[in-house]
Amino acid sequence: MPSPTPPLDFDVVIVGSGLAGLSAAMHLAPHRRVAVITKRALADGSSGWAQGGIAAVMDRSDSFASHVDDTLVAGAGLSDPAATRFVVEHAPESVGWLRELGVPFTLEDGDLHLTREGGHSARRIVHVTDATGAAVQRTLIEHVRRTPNITLFEHHTLVDLVTSRRIGEQPQRCLGLYALDEARDEVVTFRAPHTILASGGAGKVYLYTTNPDTATGDGIAAAWRAGCRATNMEFIQFHPTCLYHPLVKSFLITEAVRGEGGRLLLPDGTRFMPQHDPRAELAPRDIVARAIDFEMKKHGLDCVYLDISHQPAQFIREHFPTIHARCLELGIDITRQPIPVVPAAHYTCGGIHTDLSGRTDLPGLHAIGETAYTGLHGANRLASNSLVECMVFAQSAARDILATPQPAVPPLPAWDASQVTDADESVVISHNWDELRRFMWDYVGIVRTNKRLERAAHRIALLQGEIQEFYANFHVSRDLLELRNLVTVADLIVRSAQARHESRGLHFSRDYPQQSPDPQPTTLVPPR
């Protein structure tokens, strides 16, 4: 047996290596010793999968007021105006920061090429062809790997936050965390006066998702267990257009395809979006996803089709090279053929409740990116507002931490694995994982009912008991930790959905099809 790893001490520990986490690390590194832990490789999160781009007012004919208005409209009355203005007004600065780092944004005549996406009233999407997230991540990773004061811990999975409650001290604050080091198969203690959760969303709680396998709601679940509020968890954005193909999972067909004239068609070539919304294919994602869901159920279809082939072939190859190449590998030439698509879980609009500095309810703990609820997205996220939210709040959280005195962190107890044994039936984990994702898709998907939510809640309660018994008696593994977090997030989604007695944005209930005249966020408070 290797000797146990002693506690690791840092000024700031960041969970997650996507755009939010790496941006925060870069802002903090000149002044603080930073640890970045990520449960797989640095590039394996959701940020690298983002195709469309970054929404920012960069053209003289555009305005902050217009971007704010578009966001508030998409948010269906639940976006916080102050948070929205904060993000919109800081967006150009964030894009400028990325340009200084060397992100190779697509240009036209020497200026940033701006495209338009659903819900936007102007061209304001800064992009790197159709692979913006991947280009941004590559650039940030290159910088982070050679930046002093940043230590990277790949293949480390968050187990739980450590609070002063664990050592019997008051007042309550976050003192660090436990993480599973997969290489050593050991739980390591990280001590730090400041912790940032930037671990992404929870798309893997659903059977069909555009998210990578890492999106299991780890930060949301850990913060909830530590006593932080969760807000608007019922609003799960289903992207309207995920590639439908038996050999591929999770391949997103960017919003920009519709922004550049792509049309949604039935198998016989009939265009259907104009019958659902006057904005047709440029309607916000929730409307487009429900329209596709309606048409698929009405006609008994496995998918619908997205057609951009009326555009010149050269235009398609230049604007969508990644999509063109991937589809061509599968025998689909998008310059001549429509793309088969289905809706899929895409973005967690709710999350851990934070302020404009990324502070949670627990002192010493910040949350940024998809893990957090900032108030920006409301009941539905406007396209390409997510990457810019990551950067704006990464910078604001870093500023807050740098302006806050660093309290001393007391000694923390090592992880105690003396009372557990090796699991003898790991098949339980895979079976429970599959059951959870299937009933969440069937009962808590694009269209919901009271009965479906009740069924889901009943199954979640059963799974929670089984998973907690497994967790208490066996050594932790990444699969077990992810399942434990997913069932926690599923519970928050269902409870939030049950609390909303109306249909709004991404939450559509057949039992409550009307909108409330006085909409309020749904905030859940953990038991004390």
Catalytic positions, please? 285
Tokens describing residue 126: 């800064």
Spatial distance between the Cα atoms of 30 and 480, rounded to a whole number of angstroms: 37
Secondary element (H or E) of residue 387: helix 386-402
b/e sequence 339-350, b meaning 16+ C-beta within 10 Å:
bbbbbbbbbbbb
Q: What is the 3-state secondary structure (H, E, C) of 440-508?
A: HHHHCCCCECHHHHHHHHHHHHHHHHHHHHHHHHECCCHHHHHHHHHHHHHHHHHHHHHHCCCCECCEC
The Cβ-side half-sphere exposure at 32, using a 13 Å CA radius, reads 27
Spatial distance between the Cα atoms of 465 and 472, rounded to a whole number of angstroms: 11
**Residue in 383, 471, 396, 404 with CA at minimum distance from that of residue 432:** 471
Spatial distance between the Cα atoms of 345 and 220, rounded to a whole number of angstroms: 17
Q: Look-up: residue for tokens 């008051």? A: 170
**Residue in 174, 173, 144, 172 with CA at minimum distance from that of residue 37:** 144
**Amino acid, single-letter form, for residue 226:** A
